[in-house]
Structure 1
Amino acid sequence: MIYQVVIALVVVAVTQADPGVYEPVYKPEPLPYYFDYSVHDDYKKTDFGQHEKSDGKALYGTYWVDLPDGRKQRVDYTADHYKGYVAKVSYYGHAKHPKYYGPPATFFKSHDYGYH
């Protein structure tokens, strides 16, 4: 009889000690920040970068890149927990295509030339 009472008390103590789900008491608030980088190389003709800042609740930013056709792409964006990610994409300049293209790339099958 005493053995059954001890087992019952151990079971009650274990179930009370482990509530199942751990919830932290302290939840830190997001901190404001500012992030910025850019690359401008006259020799390689590259220009790209990003500016981003946050007030702890929403995110605001811009990034830009030179496209292969000569235009510049710029993306202005905001993000928060209500509207999500919202971007405005814009292009500057005119696309430039070469007047002459090189010879077309040709591929051959290995059995055409006796390779196996």
Structure 2
Amino acid sequence: MNTKVFLLLAMAALAAADFGYGRPDSRSFESYESGESTEAKYAFQWSVEDDSTGNDFDHQEARDGDDTHGVYTVRLPDGRLQTVTYIVDGDDGYVADVKYDGVARYPDSYSRESFESREYRPPRPAYYYGSNESK
């Protein structure tokens, strides 16, 4: 009987316990109430140039409130350098200017003429004689 009473009291204590769920934190509540926020302001820059893999790209951006501007460059697989200069001006949205420097160069095996001159040939069937161990 004592065990049942003890378990009943323990369950009642857990049900009545206030774990803080659902109750707003006073610090966060004040910031939501005011409706004020600080304007975003930042600037960053990074770059990667790795001769062993051919990776060559960089990015820089700055933001002050709703106005953002930046530029990034990418070395494309065809050898050209792609430069994207962009601005984001509040409600006007993202406006980009894309430029390419250099001339696209492709290996001979990727030229248009070599693709047009190829014909599809199905693979030759392979037959195995004897046991599977001799494959």
- TM-score normalised by length of structure 1: 0.63
Partner of 1:30: 39
RMSD, aligned CA: 2.7
Task: Report whether the alignment pairs 1:44 with 2:50.
Answer: no
Give the greater-gyration-radius structure (CA): 2
Percent identity over the alignment is 38
Task: Report whether the alignment pairs 1:63 with 2:72.
Answer: yes
Aligned pair count reads 88
Match of 2:81 among 72, 75, 91: 72
* Structure 1 residue runs of 4 or more that deviate by more than 3 Å after TM superposition: 104-108
- TM-score normalised by length of structure 2: 0.55
SS, match of residue 86 in structure 2: strand
Where structure 2 has 5 or more consecutive residues not aligned to the other structure, the ranges are 1-31, 128-135
Partner of 2:62: 53
Task: Report whether the alignment pairs 1:92 with 2:101.
Answer: yes
Judge which range, 84-93 or 26-35, deviates more: 26-35
- Code of the residue aligned with 1:37 in structure 2: it is W
SS, match of residue 77 in structure 2: coil
SS, match of residue 70 in structure 1: coil
SS, match of residue 40 in structure 1: strand
SS, match of residue 69 in structure 1: coil
Where structure 1 has 5 or more consecutive residues not aligned to the other structure, the ranges are 1-22
Partner of 1:83: 92
Distance 1:76 1:106, change over 3 A: farther
